[in-house]
């Protein structure tokens, strides 16, 4: 009986356990099915809104600025060459690299001994030729006098012959007297002919002597030039460069000893593309004298000079493109020939145009505008110029509207956006460029500028003047501090 009771109890517990497990499985399956049914229901669709930076199209008059790069050079550069060979016995005190000289100043003196000797010989030859000319002139005068006397003698002989012939005709004279008078007249005529020949010889000698005198004068002038060529003078005020001569050295004829540069007559040569060149032409196709600004960065400060375009190269060099232009600089203090400069060329002013960021345009020249209900609209504009990170466009019907400043592939016509309008404080932007220095920082910057021996004096004065102010441009400070320890 006990065995039967225990068996029934075991069967009962087993049945209860199976029932509980079955109920638990049913609950688990029901929960999973309910969860899956709840996740399969999609949430209601909601439109995505993009935040975009916008800029307003404002019609204005803009003078585009074309940027190019060029090299400064002097409009007046003279190669100084020795006109005479020999030993250099004297040099100007300023005859050195960077020496400043004045017009007419003696720069180089070559030993003039040989040239002086040649000049003395030429003067002696001239004196000899002058003496010979005076002798020939006296001889010519005597020949004239002798010819005159011979002609008078011949006239007397002819008169005597005529008288004897008359006497013979009247029966008083004789034939012998007539013959004697005829012979005398013939001899007198022969003397006249001889004197004429002597006169011609004297005239020829005088002409030859005059020619010798002219040659002597030419030789004297040449000797004077040779003597003058032993001295080399400055043709204009300027600065010396490429000096290769020392006192006591030998110099050859036509040897270049230095180069004279006028630092006040500077110009800049730069090359622009053909399309940029077309923007600088007037209606007749002539190059306009557009104003330019040349800038060179020197030790943390900018040297700036203005000028105007003066001319262009007549031909495109072999292997070159575009056009080579030249601009004359004005008030170019601190500039030197050979400086590499950045040039900003101001083009003629354009009327009723707008300036927007280049990122607002796509490859097809279209922009996205903020339309009704802040949805995007696509419109085409005419691109006129590129100005750094901006472009100048013309869109007469779109002025006053807002345009997306930075496009992305996600944006397109009809998309709803949230415009972000920058509220720039102009006064704050101006102040952000100026920094108030502490006394220690100011002293450190001034000491750095004063102790820099390579910095031009003009740049030093300009920097010290800026550092003496209460507020100093932040750009100047960053440039100077970046060179500490360099």
Residues 109-139 pLDDT 10s: 999 998 999 999 999 999 999 999 898 889 8
Q: Cα(first)–Cα(last) distance of the chain, in Å?
A: 110
Homologous superfamily in CATH for domain 114-228: Helix Hairpins (1.10.287.620)
Structure tokens at 153: 């003698």
Grade residue 433 by pLDDT with cuts at 50, 70 and 90. Answer: low
Q: Regarding predicted confidence, which is higher, 28 or 251?
A: 251
> What are the distances in angstroms from CA 353 to CA 9, 66, 474, 476?
101, 17, 33, 34
Grade residue 153 by pLDDT with cuts at 50, 70 and 90. Answer: confident
Angle between helices 457-467 and 439-450 (to 10 degrees): 170
pLDDT of residue 298: 66
Centroid of chain to Cα 458: 21
User: How large is the average pLDDT for residues 282-309?
Assistant: 85
Determine the topology of domain 76-111+230-260 in CATH: OB fold (Dihydrolipoamide Acetyltransferase, E2P) (2.40.50)
pLDDT digits (tens, 9 = 90+) for 35-66: 776 655 555 566 788 888 998 898 899 889 89
> What are the E-state strand segments in 262-401?
266-272, 291-298, 301-312, 323-330, 340-346, 350-357, 366-370, 376-380, 382-387, 390-394
Structure tokens at 386: 């590129």
Task: Give the residue extent of every domain in the chain.
Answer: 1-41, 76-111+230-260, 114-228, 265-346, 350-423, 430-481
Least confident of 90-99, 171-180, 209-218: 171-180
Q: Regarding predicted confidence, which is higher, 21 or 288?
A: 288
pLDDT of residue 386: 87
Taking the CA atoms of 79, 269, 294 and 464 in sequence, report the sign of the dihedral they define.
negative
Q: 28: phi > 0 → left, psi -120 to 50 → alpha, else beta; which?
A: alpha
Q: Residues 71, 329: contact at Cβ < 8 Å?
A: no
User: How large is the average pLDDT for residues 404-424?
Assistant: 83
User: How large is the average pLDDT for residues 2-15?
Assistant: 75
Class in CATH terms, 265-346: mainly beta
User: How large is the average pLDDT for residues 356-376?
Assistant: 89
Q: Regarding predicted confidence, which is higher, 473 or 299?
A: 473
Q: Residues 341, 69: contact at Cβ < 8 Å?
A: yes
Angle between helices 474-481 and 457-467 (to 10 degrees): 120
User: In angstroms, what is the C-alpha Rg of the chain?
Assistant: 54
The 3-state DSSP class for residue 410 equals coil
pLDDT of residue 224: 92
Is the pLDDT at 430 greater than 60, yes or no? no
Is the pLDDT at 427 greater than 60, yes or no? no
Least confident of 122-136, 222-236, 435-449: 435-449
Q: Residues 383, 361: contact at Cβ < 8 Å?
A: yes
- Read off the pTM: 0.59
CATH number of 350-423: 2.40.420.20
Is the pLDDT at 288 greater than 60, yes or no? yes
pLDDT of residue 425: 39
d(CA 219, CA 125): 9
Strands 50-56 and 417-420: parallel
* Contact partners, residue 210, CB within 8 Å, separation at least 6: 133
pLDDT of residue 184: 83
d(CA 122, CA 212): 12
pLDDT of residue 38: 63
* Contact partners, residue 188, CB within 8 Å, separation at least 6: 150, 153, 154, 156, 157, 158
Cα–Cα–Cα angle for 423, 427, 430, rounded to 5 degrees:
110
pLDDT digits (tens, 9 = 90+) for 460-477: 887 888 888 878 887 778
pLDDT of residue 28: 81
Least confident of 153-167, 191-205, 267-281, 282-296: 153-167
């Amino acid at each position: 009986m006990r065995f039967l009771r225990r068996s029934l109890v075991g069967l009962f517990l087993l049945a209860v356990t199976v029932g509980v497990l079955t109920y638990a499985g049913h609950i688990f399956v029901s929960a999973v099915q309910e969860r899956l049914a709840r996740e399969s229901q999609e949430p209601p669709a909601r439109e995505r809104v993009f935040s975009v930076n916008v800029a307003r199209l404002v019609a204005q008059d803009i003078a585009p600025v074309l940027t190019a790069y060029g090299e400064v050079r002097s409009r007046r550069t003279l190669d100084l060459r020795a006109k005479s060979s020999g030993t250099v016995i004297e040099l100007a005190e300023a005859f050195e690299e960077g020496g400043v000289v004045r017009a007419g100043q003696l720069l180089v003196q070559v030993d003039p001994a040989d040239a002086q000797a040649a000049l003395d010989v030429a003067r002696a030859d001239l004196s000899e030729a002058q003496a010979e000319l005076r002798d020939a002139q006296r001889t010519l005068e005597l020949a004239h006098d002798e010819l005159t006397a011979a002609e008078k003698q011949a006239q007397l002989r002819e008169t005597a012959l005529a008288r004897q012939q008359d006497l013979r005709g009247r029966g008083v004279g004789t034939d012998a007297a007539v013959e004697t008078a005829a012979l005398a007249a013939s001899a007198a005529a022969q003397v006249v002919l001889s004197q004429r020949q002597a006169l011609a010889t004297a005239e020829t000698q005088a002409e030859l002597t005059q020619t010798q005198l002219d040659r002597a004068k030419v030789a004297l002038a040449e000797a004077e030039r040779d003597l003058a060529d032993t001295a080399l003078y400055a043709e204009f005020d300027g600065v010396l460069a490429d000096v290769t001569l020392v006192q006591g050295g030998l110099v050859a004829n036509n040897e270049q000893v230095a180069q004279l540069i006028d630092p006040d007559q500077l110009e800049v040569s730069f090359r622009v593309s053909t399309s940029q060149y077309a923007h600088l032409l007037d209606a007749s196709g002539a190059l306009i004298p557009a104003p330019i600004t040349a800038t060179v960065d020197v030790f943390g400060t900018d040297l700036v000079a203005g000028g105007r375009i003066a001319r262009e190269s007549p031909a495109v060099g072999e292997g070159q493109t575009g056009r080579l232009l030249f601009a004359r600089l004005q008030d170019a203090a601190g500039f030197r020939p050979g400086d590499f400069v950045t040039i900003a060329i101001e083009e003629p002013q354009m009327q009723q145009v707008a300036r927007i960021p280049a990122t607002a345009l796509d490859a097809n020249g279209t922009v996205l505008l903020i339309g009704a209900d802040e949805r995007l609209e696509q419109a085409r504009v005419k691109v006129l110029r590129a100005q750094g990170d901006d472009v100048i466009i013309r869109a007469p019907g779109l002025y006053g509207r807002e345009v997306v400043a930075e496009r992305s592939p996600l944006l397109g016509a009809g998309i709803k956006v949230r415009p972000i309008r920058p509220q720039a404080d102009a006064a704050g932007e101006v102040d952000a460029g100026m920094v108030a220095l502490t006394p220690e920082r100011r002293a450190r910057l001034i000491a750095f500028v004063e102790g820099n021996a390579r910095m031009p004096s003009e740049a030093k004065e300009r920097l010290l003047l800026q550092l003496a102010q209460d507020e100093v441009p932040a750009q100047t400070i960053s440039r100077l501090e970046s060179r500490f320890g360099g």
